[in-house]
Amino acid sequence: MSILFDGLSLGAIYALIALGYTMVYGIAKMLNFAHGDIIMVGAYAFYVALISSGHMALGIVVAVIFCTVMGMVVEKVAYKPLRGASPLAVLITAIGVSYLLQSISQLVFGADPKVVTIPSLGTVSLLGASISVSSIITLLIGAVIMAGLTVFVKKTRTGRAMVAVSEDKGAAMLMGINVDKIITITFAIGSALAACASVFYLMQIPSVEPTLGSMPGIKAFTAAVIGGIGSIPGAMIGGVLLGVIEKICLSIPVLSPYTTAVEFSLLIVILLVRPIGILGKKRREKV
Amino acid sequence: MAMLEVKDLEVCYGVIRAIKGISFEVNEGEIVTLIGANGAGKTTTMQSVMGLIPIKHGTVTYEGKDITKTPCHKLIGLGMAQVPEGRRVFQELTVYENLLMGAFSRKDKKEIKDDIESIYEKFPRLSERRNQIAGTLSGGEQQMLAMGRAMMSRPKLLMLDEPSMGLSPLLVDQVFDIIKEFHKSGTTILLVEQNAGKSLAISDRAYVLENGEIAFSGTGKELMESEDIKKAYLGG
Ligand SMILES: Nc1ncnc2c1ncn2[C@@H]1O[C@H](COP(=O)(O)OP(=O)(O)O)[C@@H](O)[C@H]1O
Ligand SMILES: [Mg+2]
């Protein structure tokens, strides 16, 4: 029971990050390999705001704002000039941005992990099991954010424009949609979600270092591919699936050393059975 | 002054010159057709006029304003709209949402609703399927949707790229009827077609595009009666 809750909340973290990968892929048709490092940036922003003010809430707001701006700046400076360039050039640029962000934070904060002291929220007992409050909070807020995002994409003008751009950029332009603006908004949303994820991540592992984003970044990317890259509900399902499997594996002594191997095997199996991921769409190629 | 004036337009794909310096114009209230065989450069012309493909050389002027370098999304607000080749409706959105996307450049919510209703009146098939995902529509229905969607921006100049492509003769007639109706309601039309007979019949003027160059031009009637055109485009 408590394993399930921990798994679901870790899954919510992965899902929030996976959404950033999947939305950017869907709309800008690129793999933003620096997305994981936005989590790290968010964690440092939260850390700095927390030690200088002492307020959790302020830390969250600062992390979200800082990451949102950072995401838009990265898009504008690094990716926008490459619009129309070969996918390989864009990919290599993204890897470059990833190293750049890691190096800058190492220069500023040093390579040693910084401990983030978040007051423990304790546990509650539910149906006889003791469940950590931070898991419940993560799960609840994560669910609210994802529901909000779903409604935003389905029901708002900007959200529908995002769907249109992801499906057919040229046709979207013919509707009068400013595609560059939609791409910027997508990076902003993805980065804001990553900032939320970074705070939840720190609630589980309260320490931040320059490479913090790598592992959750790769796991969330895996989740996005499992769910079907480009698909928003797919990223949610993939994230939750991966989080639950991770916590279950960790709780079984013989399996626990191989947890990461199990997760990536799942990716391989799913890709063998269904190369486009669980909810991925086959797209007709457009001229 | 012409509504749309294209001058010495040159468009390249890499080293290939697809459009080799063509000039044509569309006056307010006209139906003008660009006819040409497959690969003549019709779609390239239409897309470069709309700013979807960069123009190598030449100018495009709309209502006296130089729009050669204006990005596509800004042209919609100026009153230009295009039904692209292959319809390209948003497959994952419903019929209703597709029509709403067509009005993206507008802010007058109430009138958008009214316009959607009048599209439904014009196209009862779309009305019946308003909540259906557009990807599940037949080719003819998708063409109607693409045309209705383009009209949702209330264009002054509507450009259509081979709207009759791949449709049964009955549907082709219907498409041409709708174009005539749009025209009657005050929309200027620039039509691209391989179906020369039908399009020349409704055109005020027409241009014949061959290998990226304009080979002939004249009134619809003149071209229909020309021996060369008959041989090359009208099957006899
Ligand atoms: N994306 C492209 N890349 C390279 N060449 C292209 C591309 N699109 C069209 N062409 C070439 O440009 C010419 C004109 O094509 P197009 O404008 O599509 O003709 P049409 O619409 O009259 O059939 C053709 O020779 C075609 O092969
Ligand atoms: Mg064509």
What is the C-alpha separation between B163 and B177, in angstroms, rounded? Answer: 12
Percentage of chain A lying above the pLDDT 70 cut: 98
- Which residues have a Cβ under 8 Å from the Cβ of A125 and sit 6 or more positions away? A131
What is the C-alpha separation between A173 and B205, in angstroms, rounded? Answer: 29
For ligand 1, atom 8, name the residue with the nearest CA.
B44
| Closest C-alpha to A105, from A23, A42, A18 | A42
- Ligand lying nearest the CA atom of residue B209: 1
The best mutation among B9, B11, B15, B44 to test binding of ligand 1, ranked by most ligand atoms within 8 Å of the C-beta, falls on: B44
Residues A218, A223, A225, CA angle at the centre, nearest 5°? 95
What is the C-alpha separation between A39 and A198, in angstroms, rounded? Answer: 5
In this predicted structure, the answer to whether residue B194 has a pLDDT above a threshold of 70 is yes
Asked if A176's CB is within 8 angstroms of B104's CB, the reply is yes
What is the tens place of the pLDDT at every residue in B121-149?
A: 999 999 999 999 999 999 999 999 999 99
Provide φ and ψ at A213, rounded to 5°: -75, -15
What is the tens place of the pLDDT at every residue in B53-99?
A: 999 999 999 999 999 999 999 999 999 999 999 999 999 999 999 99
- Which residues have a Cβ under 8 Å from the Cβ of B84 and sit 6 or more positions away? A170, A171, A174, B46, B47, B146, B161
What is the tens place of the pLDDT at every residue in A110-159?
A: 999 999 988 777 888 877 788 888 889 999 999 999 999 999 999 999 99
**Interface membership of B165 toward A (CB under 8 Å):** no
Q: Please tell me the predicted confidence (pLDDT) of residue A128.
A: 79
Range of the domain at A262: 2-121+129-273
> Mean of the pLDDT values across residues B206-213?
95
Q: Is residue A168 part of a domain?
A: yes
Residue B214 pairs in a beta bridge with B209
- Residue B195's pLDDT band, with cuts at 50, 70 and 90, is confident
DSSP single-letter state for residue B137: S
> Mean of the pLDDT values across residues A188-217?
95
Q: Please tell me the predicted confidence (pLDDT) of residue A280.
A: 85
What CATH number should be reported for the domain holding residue A76? 1.10.3470
Chain A residues in contact with B54 by the CB 8 A cut-off are: none
Q: Please tell me the predicted confidence (pLDDT) of residue B1.
A: 82
What CATH number should be reported for the domain holding residue B214? 3.40.50.300
Q: Please tell me the predicted confidence (pLDDT) of residue A245.
A: 95
Q: Is residue A108 part of a domain?
A: yes
Percentage of chain A lying above the pLDDT 90 cut: 81
- Closest CB from A173, A175, A178 relative to B52: A173
Average pLDDT score, chain A: 92
**Interface membership of A156 toward B (CB under 8 Å):** no
- Residue A285's pLDDT band, with cuts at 50, 70 and 90, is very low
Distance to chain B for A163, nearest Cα, Å = 8
What are the Cα distances from residue A239, in Å, to A33, A165, A221, B115, B225?
Answer: 17, 24, 9, 42, 67
Q: Please tell me the predicted confidence (pLDDT) of residue A283.
A: 59
Asked if B105's CB is within 8 angstroms of A286's CB, the reply is no
Cα of B16 from ligand 1 centre, angstroms: 9
Instruction: Please check whether residue B154 is in contact with residue B107, taking contact to mean a CB–CB distance below 8 angstroms.
Output: no
In this predicted structure, the answer to whether residue A282 has a pLDDT above a threshold of 80 is no
Instruction: Please check whether residue A141 is in contact with residue A74, taking contact to mean a CB–CB distance below 8 angstroms.
Output: no
Distance to chain B for A278, nearest Cα, Å = 17
Q: Which of A83, A174, A182 should we substitute to test contact with B (largest number of B Cβ atoms within 10 Å)?
A: A174
Q: Is residue A283 part of a domain?
A: no
Cα of B39 from ligand 1 centre, angstroms: 5
Q: Please tell me the predicted confidence (pLDDT) of residue A287.
A: 36
**Interface membership of A178 toward B (CB under 8 Å):** yes
> Mean of the pLDDT values across residues A44-50?
96
Average pLDDT score, chain B: 94
- DSSP-derived 3-state class of residue B187: coil
Instruction: Please check whether residue B187 is in contact with residue B26, taking contact to mean a CB–CB distance below 8 angstroms.
Output: no
What is the C-alpha separation between A83 and A52, in angstroms, rounded? Answer: 40
DSSP letters for B42-73? HHHHHHHHTTSS--SEEEEEETTEE-TT--HH
Q: Please tell me the predicted confidence (pLDDT) of residue A174.
A: 97
What is the C-alpha separation between B127 and B142, in angstroms, rounded? Answer: 13
- Closest CB from B50, B84, B90 relative to A167: B90
Q: How many CA atoms lie within 13 A of A31 on its CB side?
A: 17
How many domains, chain B?
1
What is the tens place of the pLDDT at every residue in B163-172?
A: 999 999 999 9
Range of the domain at B127: 4-233
> Mean of the pLDDT values across residues A200-221?
94
- Ligand lying nearest the CA atom of residue B18: 1
What is the C-alpha separation between B104 and A174, in angstroms, rounded? Answer: 10
- Residue B236's pLDDT band, with cuts at 50, 70 and 90, is low
**Interface membership of B160 toward A (CB under 8 Å):** no
Q: Please tell me the predicted confidence (pLDDT) of residue A286.
A: 40
**Interface membership of B54 toward A (CB under 8 Å):** no
How many domains, chain A?
1
Asked if B93's CB is within 8 angstroms of A163's CB, the reply is yes
- Give the residue, B228 or A263, on which the prediction is more confident: A263
